[in-house]
Amino acid sequence: MRSVLLLIFFSVALFSKDLTMEIIKEVEKKPLISVEDASAAFSDSLNKKFFKLLVADLKVTSHFNVDERYSSAIFDTSFDFTKYPNNDLIVRFELTFDDFGNLLSRVKLFNIKTSEIAFQKTYKINDIKRYPFLAHKIACDINDYIGAPPVDWMRRFVIFSRYTSAKNAEIVVSDYTLTYQKTVIKGGLNVFPKWGDKNQRTFYYTSYERKPTLYRVNLYTGERKKILSSEGMMVCSDVSKDGKKLLVTMAPNYQPDIYVYDLKTKRLKRVTRYPGIDVNGNFIENDKRVVFISDRLGYPNIFAKSIESSAVERLVYHGKNHSSCSAFGHYIVYSSRETDNEFGKNVFNLYLISTKSDYIRRLTATGVNQFPRFSVDGETILYIKHLKNQSALGIIRLNYNKSYLYPLKVGKIQSIDW
């Protein structure tokens, strides 16, 4: 039972720049863009799915006014720039297959204001099931064309653990919309996946065998290597910037504490020494300090300390039950329980704070919102939202006060990384 409680008590992190301030006001009018489908009919209506996904991606950037109406065209015909007098941009795509079975997407972007083709590109992917990443790449390139802040996080993999039955959970790799999903680890209880490098080639996860055991897996070769095992608990919560050190929570004597593990020397350095629960370590300040969750106040709260010293600093003074957090630099995003209902459902909301001010920004309003993760540019948060008996991935665009949900149709999400 204690192990189960510790599982519920956990999460990971990443963040940048001051987003606790007011939402950025739109100074310039966002360009109006429409999408044209120039594909031949696909037997499974792939072109219609692709159209909807590309439209949705452009909306999620928050940098466009998007015309969602379906429109078709012939790819190589000349473009009538007078057809869309109110538009700024038109993107036309054509899906085809090459002789090797690769899925191609030819794209033209028309600039209505200058009456010219802004760019023309061909995108390719060898696995048709990964077509969402073609749409994400196109949206990123169009976004870059107008000079908007990058949205390259769209192209990254999301990795999560999904409960499938009692004592069974599998590790899944997906895109941020959950349209593409591939199970990479199955069989048994496999939880807490964590990317092992910035290029997302390797990941760590915990398998509950005779002892909780931490493994590292190469996503492309499938090679799996045992890293550590421990009684009670074994979770990798963060990886140093150079990928050489891990922050792990271990409970060798059923007492969870945070350790730094050096992958080269295979040495463990104990970071916390408290006769209670210390979990969810996250590197901050160039990997010299750690943010973590502890019950040393009698309830879960967020603290920080240097790896080399014993002094502990309390970081959050709002709320009294913080089940998960993420941190980078001087900023924290955390999940806080808003109610204390012994018999009914509790509400968990996300908050964003700066450790250098008293400002608190509430990010969600209802439901169970947990395990926040930041995009590589710090402008977007990915999190888990539990809806009755279903889970969803939530996206929050911090600078634009916009949020989106992508339900998981099968299973329930246990934890995520981005």
3-state secondary structure 268-313: EEECCCCCCCEEEEEEECCCCEEEEEECCCCCCEEEEEECCCCCEE
Strands 89-97 and 32-37: parallel
Residue 26's pLDDT is: 47
pTM: 0.88
pLDDT one-digit tens code per residue, 357-414: 777 889 998 889 999 988 888 889 999 998 777 789 999 998 898 999 999 888 888 9
Query: What was the pLDDT predicted at 22?
Result: 42
Among candidates 333, 14, 358, which has minimal Cα distance to 156? 14
Burial 101-132 (b: 16+ CB within 10 A, else e): eebebbbbbbbbeeeeebeeeebebeeeeebb
Closest CA to 414 of 10, 3, 2: 10
pLDDT tens digits along 264-290: 999 999 999 998 899 999 888 888 999
**Cβ-proximal residues to 328 (8 Å cutoff; 6+ apart), any chain:** 13, 14, 15, 16, 282, 284, 374, 378
* CA–CA separation, 75 and 82 (whole Å): 17
Q: Amino acid letter at 226? A: K
- State residue 315's pLDDT score: 85
Does residue 169 contact residue 176 with C-beta atoms inside 8 Å? Answer: no
Could you read off the pLDDT tens digit of each residue along the chain, which spans 418 residues? Answer: 444 444 444 433 333 334 444 444 444 589 999 999 999 766 668 999 999 999 999 999 999 999 999 999 999 988 888 888 899 999 999 999 999 999 999 999 999 999 999 999 999 999 999 999 999 999 999 999 999 999 999 999 999 999 998 889 999 999 999 999 999 999 999 999 999 999 999 999 999 988 999 999 999 999 999 999 998 899 999 999 899 999 999 998 888 999 999 999 999 999 999 988 999 998 888 889 999 999 999 889 999 999 998 899 998 887 778 888 887 667 788 999 887 655 557 789 999 887 677 778 899 988 899 999 888 888 899 999 987 777 899 999 988 989 999 998 888 889 999 8
Give φ, ψ of 173 to 5 degrees: -105, 135
Residue of 397, 356, 302, 347 whose CA lies nearest to 9: 302
Task: Collect contacts of 55-59 with beta carbons under 8 A, ≥24 apart.
Answer: 56/177, 57/135, 57/136, 57/138, 57/139, 57/154, 58/33, 58/139, 58/142, 58/143
Q: Which residues pair with 315 in a beta bridge?
A: none
Q: Are 250 and 230 in contact (CB under 8 A)?
A: yes
Token pair of 219, please? 């996503």
Record the tokens describing residue 182, joined without a space.
Answer: 């591939």
Measuring CA to CA, which residue among 358, 418, 359, 353 is closest to residue 383?
A: 418
Classify residue 189 by its DSSP letter.
B
Domain annotation for the chain: domains and CATH numbers:
2-18+153-417 (2.120.10.30), 32-145 (3.40.50.10070)
pLDDT number for residue 259: 96
